[in-house]
Amino acid sequence: MRPTTASLALAALLGLSLAGKSVGLTQSGLADPNSESDIVAFLEERGFAVLPPDRETAPVWIVGVLGACRIRVADVAPEGWARAIIAEQTAGERLAYVFAGRFLAEQPVISTRMENYHRRLIRYLGFEAPALRLRAVAVSPACPPDIMRSQDAERLSS
């Protein structure tokens, strides 16, 4: 291949790659930032009063209070960037991650990262892929042990 042809092919490939990425910027791999409404609805259906979220914190926790019981739910990045912050913010509480309809004791970083890349590739190719939904759930010690049920994991991750 001549240097001119190779340069043109490389420029075309770079242009296609950048065009695809610019389209991908509008379609985040994370859950929709407005997805908090389903968390609020979930907590209200369970009888919790929902407090206004503090948007100055990361992650943004949606807090539900029922008497002395407090449940906090937040969308988290699939790459695991906020694990240390979440662990610090939830010290003394029961912490679980919700992914693919299950409660997990630790964030499944490898599987969520791979799933996020898979969905990004699907969108990059022009197909629809639902947003990845990974959430942290912190339950205060004042809550009964069975406050979060397996069907709740399904609801929070779908």
Q: What is the pLDDT of residue 29?
A: 39
CA proximity to 119, closest of 27, 33, 34, 38: 27
| 92 domain-assigned | yes
Closest alpha carbon to 66 in 144, 153, 123, 155 = 144
Q: What is the dihedral of CA 38, 44, 50, 56, to 10 degrees?
A: -10
Helix H segments across 26-147? 36-45, 83-89, 109-124
Examine residue 113 and state whether it is found in any structural domain, yes or no.
Answer: yes
Measuring CA to CA, which residue among 77, 71, 95, 83 is closest to residue 31?
Answer: 77
**If residue 22 lies in a helix (H) or strand (E), which one and from where to where?**
helix 3-25
Q: Domains in the chain: how many in total?
A: 1
Residue 101 lies in a domain: yes
> Residue 37 — very low, low, confident or very high, per pLDDT cuts 50/70/90?
confident
Q: H-helix or E-strand containing 103?
A: strand 102-104
Condensed to tens digits (0 to 9), the pLDDT of residues 106-148 reads: 998 898 889 989 999 999 899 998 888 899 999 999 999 989 9
**Containing domain of residue 74, as a range?**
28-157
Q: What is the pLDDT of residues 64-77, one digit of tens each?
A: 999 999 999 999 99
Residue 49 pLDDT more than 90? yes
